[in-house]
Amino acid sequence: GPVRAVAAVDLGATSGRVMIGRVGEGVLELEQVARFANGPVERADGWHWDVEALWTHVRAGLAEALRREPTIESVGIDSWAVDYGLLRDGELVAEPFHYRDERTARGVDAVHAIVPFEQLYRRNGLQFLPFNTVYQYAADARLAAAEASLLIPDLFAERLTGRRVAERTNASTTGLLDVHTGKWDTELAAMLGIPASVLPPLVDPGETVGHATDLGGLPVVAVGSHDTASAVVAVPMSSPNAAYISCGTWGLVGLELEAPIVTDAARAANFTNEGGVDGRIRFLHNVAGLWLLSETVRAWSEADGAPVDLGRLLAAAGSVSVPARLFDADDPSLAAPGDMPTRIAALLGREAPGRSERPMFARIIVESIAQAFATTLRAAGALADREIDVVHLVGGGALNTLLCQATADRSGVPVLAGPVEATALGNVLVQARALGAFGADASLTDLRARVAAAFPPRRYEPRS
């Protein structure tokens, strides 16, 4: 058959991109059309996202994609989870907050006073993260007067099509979906005083959301709009006992399951049950990922008044010996933006590093992330009763050879690294399937076979 083309918008916490995806017999390709920086912006009332800047880049990127490839048949949008924009009189009420803004602590107390965490977990299956949307709502005075609340990809889909929907995989990160039925838990919303009217109708990946009038009526197709949902679509699972790590800003470490696990043990280990494409469950735990490195590099670059090059730093970090003393990458003190080297040094019980100590310090960060990955993999296997025999590491972290090798060494199982652009690929594949490019009943296994063929992963054997 012919090669079909789609456009994928993938917004990450540190960068966004617009891609052209091409799919056909033996063909699976991405062409990057636009890439732009993203990050927290500090305003008088806390940390936000500059969604208007993102929107400008998305629109320009899509226009350029259509110029380069006029045969594009649809567009799909994914981004980081949990954050939202409130609409009133059809307009965005205010700049969306960034999930790393600490105001959410208030919301946590307010929610748990009404519904204790244990009960919440049984209903929504989510690990405790202080920024789950439900806590953000509880700290957001603007909610009562809003017409609708739209998660970030849904917000952009609304701007393109005029349709207000909630794509289900991302909606599962709000804390307001019933983990067993995948429907809005309106009873929970009522208990928490969240007006059901702000929760839009749910749609599934593969459904058409609407048509983009400014783009010649191009269909906007729902994908796994939670970036991690799209990334997991493109994990080339090579064993029934495979685990994955989707590693960008976060390291999302876990398994794909057919049904949720909401046992006391899963709750105690703080494992989440997020909704995946085709009704699968992402059973995983959030570990701090490249965030620890990118914030460290940002702090050093500011101190130097010149950019510190991460690639060069990691190369130097590779030639220092493996440090004995590590820190807990999961420590809550590392969550907010700020002076990362000083905070990590505090956890290590030492002074912030001098210039000559930077490679060694970067090595400690990489090894600490890998150690947290290994610990979390072991917990996932034990909780789901699976003998994990391979770990697929996808996302930007797959470029970090030091991290991949350290993860293999510390977990004792081979790491298969790549694809780097798993999220964009998952976005493209779900659109292409909806177009009928693979036959309507193509399974996730079929999609993953195409990923494995087009992007053979790089193997890291564990060393003792």
Tell me how far, at minimum, the Cβ of 312 lies from ligand LRH, in Å. 26
Tell me how far, at minimum, the Cβ of 251 lies from ligand LRH, in Å. 9
Residue type, 108: V
Binding range to ligand LRH, per CB under 6 A, among 112-120, 245-253, 297-305, 327-335? 245-253
Tell me how far, at minimum, the Cβ of 274 lies from ligand LRH, in Å. 7
| Window 218-237: residues binding ligand LRH (CB under 6 A) | 226-228
Q: Which is nearer to ligand LRH, 200 or 251 (CB)?
A: 251
User: Quick one: which H or E segment has residue 291?
Assistant: helix 291-304
| Window 250-289: residues binding ligand LRH (CB under 6 A) | 250, 252, 286
Q: Choose the catalytic residue: 10, 154, 227, 409.
A: 227
Site string for ligand LRH, 178-217 (x = CB under 6 A): ----------------------------------------
Work out whether 80 is an interface residue with ligand LRH (CB under 6 A): yes
Q: In this structure, what token pair is assigned to residue 149?
A: 């609340």
Binding range to ligand LRH, per CB under 6 A, among 67-75, 114-122, 158-166, 249-257? 249-257
Integer-rounded Cα Rg, in Å, for the chain is 21
Work out whether 133 is an interface residue with ligand LRH (CB under 6 A): no
Among 49, 97, 99, 361, binds ligand LRH (CB under 6 A): 99
On the CB side of 323, CA atoms within 13 Å amount to: 21
Tell me how far, at minimum, the Cβ of 99 lies from ligand LRH, in Å. 5
Number of alpha helices (DSSP H) and beta strands (DSSP E) in the chain: 16, 20
Q: In this structure, what token pair is assigned to residue 111?
A: 């929610």
Among 136, 149, 249, 407, binds ligand LRH (CB under 6 A): 249
Binding range to ligand LRH, per CB under 6 A, among 33-41, 49-57, 74-82, 161-169? 74-82
Q: Which is nearer to ligand LRH, 47 or 80 (CB)?
A: 80
Q: Which is nearer to ligand LRH, 102 or 309 (CB)?
A: 102
Tell me how far, at minimum, the Cβ of 275 lies from ligand LRH, in Å. 12
**Can you state the percent helix, strand and coil of the chain, rounding each to 5?**
40, 25, 35
Buried b (16+ CB within 10 A) or exposed e, 309-321: ebeebbeebeeee
Is 227 assigned a catalytic role? yes
Environment class of 55 (CB within 10 Å of its CB; exposed 0-12, middle 13-18, buried 19+): middle
Q: Which is nearer to ligand LRH, 135 or 250 (CB)?
A: 250
Residue type, 216: G
Q: In this structure, what token pair is assigned to residue 186?
A: 């309106």
Which residues neighbour 404 within 8 Å (Cβ) at sequence distance 6 or greater?
Answer: 393, 397, 398, 415, 417, 458, 460
Q: Which is nearer to ligand LRH, 248 or 353 (CB)?
A: 248
Contact in structure between 187 and 199 (CB atoms under 8 Å) = no
Q: Which of 36, 33, 65, 66 is nearest to 53 (CA)?
A: 36
Number of residues that bind ligand LRH (CB under 6 A): 13
Among 5, 51, 81, 365, binds ligand LRH (CB under 6 A): 81
Dist CA 74 CA 222 (whole Å):
10
Contact in structure between 313 and 364 (CB atoms under 8 Å) = no
Dist CA 53 CA 47 (whole Å):
15
Binding range to ligand LRH, per CB under 6 A, among 78-86, 133-141, 317-325, 413-421? 78-86
Tell me how far, at minimum, the Cβ of 446 lies from ligand LRH, in Å. 25
Tell me how far, at minimum, the Cβ of 426 lies from ligand LRH, in Å. 13
Environment class of 79 (CB within 10 Å of its CB; exposed 0-12, middle 13-18, buried 19+): buried
Work out whether 158 is an interface residue with ligand LRH (CB under 6 A): no
| Interface ranges with ligand LRH (CB under 6 A) | 13, 80-82, 99, 226-228, 248-250, 252, 286
Residues with a catalytic annotation lie at 227
